[in-house]
Amino acid sequence: MPLSTQSQADDEQYVLVASMDNARNLSNILKAITFKDQAIFSATPNGLKVTVEDSKCLQANAFIQAEIFQEFTIKEDLVGFQVNLTVLLDCLSIFGGSTVPGVSTALRMCYKGYGYPLTLFLEEGGVVTVCKINTQEPEEPIDFEFCSNNVTNKVILLSESLKEAFSELDMTSEVLQITMSPSQPYFRLSTFGNSGNAHYDYPKDSEMMELFKCTKTQTNRYKMSLLKPSTKALALSCKVSVRTDIRGFLSLQYLVRNDDGQICFVEYYCCPDEEVEEE
Amino acid sequence: MKFRGKIVDVACLNHVTRVISTISKLTKTCVLRLTADNLFFVLSGKVANGGVSMWCELSQANVFDEYQMEGVSSEDNEICLEVTPENLSRALKTVQNAKAVKVKLTKKHCPCLTIAAELPTLSSISRVVTHDVPVDVIPRRLWHEFKEPSMPDFDVSVYLPPLKTMKNVVDRMKNLSNFLVIEANLSGEMNLKIETDLVSVTTHFKDLGNPLWGDDASQDGGPSPSRDPEAMAQARVDIRKLQQFLMGQQVNPSKAMCNIVHERVVHLILLHEDVSLQYFIPAVA
């Protein structure tokens, strides 16, 4: 059943059909949010949003716009389902994870609607694999109520600079403390681990700092274990925006370029660690 | 019982080392049969190894420059040893640089295959390396367990797809399921399928070609001429057994085939130069 000869009639029954010449453009970005097995898929005419949550305190979203796909056909305003993300990733890389230049796996993802499995048609070198992954009713993703109006502090940094800091972070520290301020130290990451306290400062006029808009001095702590998965997104990205709102909620937005140079976004929302008092 | 062999050609040494290395990935222990013309590595299917059996055959003339073998008796002119291929492989790997390698059946504290070689060093004095690899002599009364397997009465015979592609797919499928179904038909199609509560995955290979076994096969009861070419013969196997077979293959064989006896056994045959390797994986319910 080669992808190209799938009949028109088959397509009629699907509420969602999304095709990609290179399945890695989907699997790479999904790897950036795979810290739990279950993922909520929400498809709209704008594209695909994949959500993974952890203990109601952390949410990661990957956005793949319709334009990234070679074909993106949706028959409803919103198509939602839940699947096992680890199984999906194993299916997307069924022909092996190696990156031989010029060889890629073509993907056609199809969904008939509630109660039906997510069907993937994958093709590489003339060999076709068909996967049917069972779906579940999607849980409602948490609304962190993070809106631009309530943002107190925002910086945009080149990922390069944060990658170094995150790779050196003292993981024995239970929390990562983020200080943002219109005055010194401007943007500071702190850890309190077995080796002592460590601070990483980013001055507002640093060449790594693309944007600096801080209105109020804020210090917030976030559980290290919750933020750790975000390093995968950081590794893929070229730029990251860090925002906090009046409640101390954190939004990290990553700009990711795929194999073909197209842009996708990954965002992480995280609640502040309860035990700390706001300054 | 006497055995002495000398390997002088580096290509022959590489050849036999590679074969033994492949065998070592398929099984921890096996039987080595030495006859006047051939070396056979045999694993007979027992419950302990999940019923998997293996038969590997190569001609001694393509390995040894000098070969002296005196079997148990003149009527039974062969030697049967139980060996650990990993030990042989390791020993052979250390002497790849040697000008000549001698292999001898010896008796130290127990029967051994002694591998001895002179290795070149920076000075003019050579370094002699000797490995005594312990083996067990298999008594004649048990030899019947290690006979060449007869070609099974298969329903379908098909050429395998590129082993690397098969291995990649099987590796991923192993993450999803413990069992895999192999099916193939006489139109050169083969499918690998897994099915669990969470997911079902089928990989379709086409245009593989079907080997023609000729008159011998039809005497053994090969595929009947009236068989529907589209009809699939299938067998459900433990995925680890198939994965193990695929992991061991280091060289692209010149011929790779698969015979399926519907719901009974998968018979894999690899041919490369003068070496033939057969591997039998029993079907599970």
Strand order across the A209-214 sheet? A79-84, A38-44, A47-54, A58-65, A263-270, A250-257, A237-245, A151-158, A209-214
Contact flag A127-B199 (C-beta cutoff 8 Å):
no
Query: For B219, which DSSP code?
Result: H
Residues of chain B with pLDDT under 50: 215-221
Question: Which one is the CATH code of A12-136: 3.40.50.10540, 3.40.960.10, 3.40.50.2300, 3.70.10.10?
Answer: 3.70.10.10
pLDDT band per the 50, 70, 90 thresholds, residue A96 = confident
B156-214+229-269 and B2-145 share a CATH fold: yes
A134 close to B (CB below 8 A): yes
By Cβ distance, the residue of A96, A129, A133 closest to B202 is: A129
Query: For B148, which DSSP code?
Result: P
pLDDT at A1: 41
Beta bridge mates, B276: B57, B271
A18-37 burial by CB neighbour count: b if 16+ within 10 A, else e?
bbbebbbbbbbbbbbbbbbe
Q: Cα–Cα distance between B248 and B27 in angstroms, integer? A: 10
**Residue A279 in this model has a pLDDT that exceeds 70:** no
Rounded (10°) angle between helices B163-176 and B239-247: 140
Q: If DSSP codes are grouped into helix, strand and coil, which group holds residue A25?
A: helix
Every domain range in chain A assigned CATH 3.70.10.10: 12-136, 151-270
DSSP H or E run through B84: none
Q: If DSSP codes are grouped into helix, strand and coil, which group holds residue B142?
A: helix
**Statement: B156-214+229-269 belongs to CATH 3.70.10.10:** yes
Q: Cα–Cα distance between B18 and B83 in angstroms, integer? A: 16
Count of alpha carbons within 13 Å of A18, Cβ hemisphere only? Answer: 26
**Residues, chain B, total?**
285
Restricting to B residues 172-211, those with a Cβ less than 8 Å away from any Cβ of A are 172-173, 175-176, 197-206
pLDDT at B150: 85
For the segment A156-175, what is each residue's pLDDT rounded down to a tens digit?
A: 999 999 998 888 888 899 99
Domain ranges of chain B: 2-145, 156-214+229-269
> CA nearest B166 in A: which residue?
A95
Q: If DSSP codes are grouped into helix, strand and coil, which group holds residue A198?
A: strand
Helix residue ranges per DSSP H, chain A: 8-12, 24-31, 85-92, 159-168, 224-227, 230-236
Question: Residue B205: its chain A contacts at CB < 8 A?
Answer: 127
Q: Indicate the average pLDDT of chain A.
A: 90
> CA nearest B203 in A: which residue?
A129
Contact flag A84-B199 (C-beta cutoff 8 Å):
yes
B224 close to A (CB below 8 A): no
Burial tier of A163 (Cβ tally within 10 Å: 0-12, 13-18, 19+): middle
Contact flag B168-A90 (C-beta cutoff 8 Å):
no
Phi/psi of residue B146, each to 5°? -120, 35
The architecture that CATH gives domain A151-270 is Box (3.70)
Q: In Å, how far is A17's CA from the nearest CA of chain B?
A: 19
For the segment A114-142, what is each residue's pLDDT rounded down to a tens digit?
A: 999 999 999 998 999 999 999 999 999 99
**Statement: B2-145 belongs to CATH 3.40.50.450:** no
- Cis peptide bond prior to A182, omega within 30° of 0: no
pLDDT band per the 50, 70, 90 thresholds, residue A8 = low
Angle at B247 between CA B244 and CA B249, to 5 degrees: 115
pLDDT at B218: 45
Kindly state the tokens that stand for A86.
Answer: 């680890």
Strand order across the A187-193 sheet? A196-202, A187-193, A175-180, A218-223
pLDDT at B216: 45
Other CB atoms closer than 10 Å to residue B75's CB: what's the count?
Answer: 6
pLDDT band per the 50, 70, 90 thresholds, residue A2 = very low
Q: If DSSP codes are grouped into helix, strand and coil, which group holds residue B195?
A: strand
Residue pair A84/B163 in contact by the 8 Å Cβ criterion: no
Could you tell me the pTM of the whole model?
Answer: 0.88
